[in-house]
Structure 1
Amino acid sequence: MKKRILILGATGTVGTAIYRQLSQEKDWEIWGTYCSSKQKDSSMLRFSVEMPDKIHSLLGQVRPDLVISSLRGNFDRQLTVHESIAGYLSANGGKIIFISTANVFDGNCKKKHYENDPTNSDSEYGRFKIQCEDLLRERLGSRTVIIRIPFVWGKNSPRIQEIRKGCEKGELEVYTDFFSNHVADLQIAKTLRWIIEEDKEGIFHVGTSDVIEYQDFIQKLICAMGGKKPCFVCQKEPGVMAVLNSRDDLPNSLKWDSERLIAYLNS
């Protein structure tokens, strides 16, 4: 019997990459959700966190063995949705992979963070993600896999579009004295595929292995794109926002650095 996988938020930068990657596996039956723009693919179903109760009929229709949550939207309604998912999986079996964020550590921006570090957030977004992580782990235990990611990039992602517009305009806002790592949509998708194939558990920090100043990364990216360097409007944000991998089971093929990320974005 095919494994049934439901991807919530399958039309965003991360969700799209995951949907495309997992759809390559013939032994998996992949379903995804979209919010507003109707999709031609019959395996794409409409779902919005603005109607959180609809999650019950969606789960009943798909009957997933695995839910991948890459949702966006109102935090309270998202939390309600995740409570319902936890209840369904608790009663019917199955796992969840929850896409979280480096912001669960934004209450301590003085150092890099690894999987086993205690979470600590000062932002509403970070605290919300911590709530979701804690809820799912409490209800489902080891059947919850958490993926924490830093700045996300794709070949046509909002951040790339912002860079292109800045180059055209001749002006681009950048952070200075701010050190971070980054992640490609493809790196996330390939890591999730490996996690599913190998039935891995726990917390994964997915991102580049090197931590560099944000402005320096943007300069290297623009140079690789062949664009004209714009005038940088600098916002001083001293600190570090980086989630690094400390697991010893991750294959080398899934380990990226900034150079590989920039090459991918320009391929």
Structure 2
Amino acid sequence: MQEKKKEKERILILGGSGFIGNSIYKELPPYFHVRATYCKQHGLFSENKIFHQYCIEENSTFLLLNTIRPTVIISALTGNYESLLKVHREIADYALLNQNCSVLYVSSSEVFDAKWRYPSYENDVTLSESSFGKFKILVEKLLLEKVPSQTAILRLPIVLGINSPTIFHLRQCIRHEATFEVYPNLVVSATTINKVCQQIHYIINQSLHGIFHLGSNDMIHHEDLFREITSKIGDNMPIFKSVFSSNEDRYKAILPKTNKLPRQYQITVSEVIEESSLNEEIASVK
């Protein structure tokens, strides 16, 4: 009975044409009724009846939500911060009126970018000095205050994997012997897009709420991470440009602690490196 109920969930992915949103979209349709949004005209999406054109500055969020009537809203939107804040207020208002609706918000490790002495955990107080991090904190607080029992905050670290933009850029730098920036004193956690999608699928299936750090259980220096991936890809190297922001280690790592998912939905840095360094023939098939 539980599985039949979950199959009937109506999921709306806001930002379904972006890297993260589109990857989530590819994971869920075999199991749920899924709809997604795209903004700019693109034949790939405009010809797909599952996708709805929706631009946060132009279209009505209220109309979209009341047309689709989602029971799960996944927000992976990007855009103007003022417009995005308005959209998330409307999402919270919709969830308030529809108590069976869950909101999954894709957030970031940047909510801790002003706290660099130690890694950060789910219940740590957020503090950011960047406009991006401050915006993410605003939306997190909005959702947790208005619909706390219906909200899942999904904080992501560096997201890699064979088809990720960062690994694609690294491969291009290797191919053309171009410059790739690394940060020797930056300690990070990481994950892959495949693992993130599996984790989100599990969170929806189990109707989980709260704050989740969807990153590796361990950490690595930024430079070491990309040097190890590069060495596994092949013998050629890009031109690594070391960027130092301080003379001591700075942590930009989020670790799961109080809201750990089951072991099969966890990941380690070594697994991130392994998956991100798969050969391009495999990458093109994925």
Instruction: Tell whether 2:72 aligns with 1:66.
Output: yes
Cα distance in 1, alignment partners of residues 260 and 114 from structure 2: 29
Which residue of the partner structure matches residue 176 of structure 2?
169
Cα distance in 2, alignment partners of residues 91 and 110 from structure 1: 42
Q: How many residues align?
A: 264
TM-score normalised according to structure 1 size: 0.94
**C-alpha distance 227-88 of structure 1, shift in aligned 2 (>3 A):** farther
Which residue of the partner structure matches residue 49 of structure 1?
56
Is there any run of 5+ residues in structure 1 with no aligned partner, and where?
none
Answer 1 or 2: which has greater strand percent.
1
Which residue of the partner structure matches residue 164 of structure 2?
157
Cα distance in 1, alignment partners of residues 244 and 259 from structure 2: 35
Q: State the shift of 1:227 in Å.
A: 5.2
| Pairing 1:111-260 to 2, within 5 Å after superposition | 111-170=118-177, 171-226=179-234, 228-238=236-246, 239-247=250-258, 250-260=261-271
AA of the residue aligned to 1:115: E
CA offsets per residue over residues 68-102 of structure 1, 9 Å max, x none?
A: 00001111111010011111111123110000000
Equivalent residue of 1:236, what SS? coil
Q: State the shift of 1:231 in Å.
A: 2.1
8 Å CA contact 2:212–2:260 kept in 1: the answer is: no
Is there any run of 5+ residues in structure 2 with no aligned partner, and where?
none
AA of the residue aligned to 1:42: K
Which has the higher mean CA deviation after the structures are superposed, 76-85 or 13-22?
Answer: 13-22
Q: State the shift of 1:169 in Å.
A: 2.8
Cα distance in 2, alignment partners of residues 260 and 227 from structure 1: 20
Which residue of the partner structure matches residue 18 of structure 2?
12
Cα distance in 2, alignment partners of residues 248 and 232 from structure 1: 36
Q: State the shift of 1:237 in Å.
A: 2.7
Cα distance in 2, alignment partners of residues 235 and 169 from structure 1: 21
Which has the higher mean CA deviation after the structures are superposed, 63-72 or 172-181?
Answer: 172-181
1:30 equivalent among 31, 34, 49 = 34
AA of the residue aligned to 2:89: E
RMSD: 1.4
List structure 1 runs of 4+ shifted beyond 3 angstroms: none
8 Å CA contact 1:166–1:172 kept in 2: the answer is: yes
Cα distance in 2, alignment partners of residues 201 and 82 from structure 1: 17
AA of the residue aligned to 1:175: Y
Q: State the shift of 1:248 in Å.
A: 5.9
Equivalent residue of 1:45, what SS? strand
AA of the residue aligned to 2:242: C
8 Å CA contact 2:211–2:259 kept in 1: the answer is: no
Cα distance in 2, alignment partners of residues 72 and 248 from structure 1: 26
Cα distance in 2, alignment partners of residues 208 and 169 from structure 1: 30
Q: State the shift of 1:263 in Å.
A: 2.1
CA offsets per residue over residues 130-176 of structure 1, 9 Å max, x none?
A: 00000111111211110001111232222112101211232222112
Equivalent residue of 1:31, what SS? strand
Which has the higher mean CA deviation after the structures are superposed, 242-251 or 80-89?
Answer: 242-251
Cα distance in 2, alignment partners of residues 14 and 224 from structure 1: 25
8 Å CA contact 1:176–1:237 kept in 2: the answer is: no
**C-alpha distance 234-172 of structure 1, shift in aligned 2 (>3 A):** same
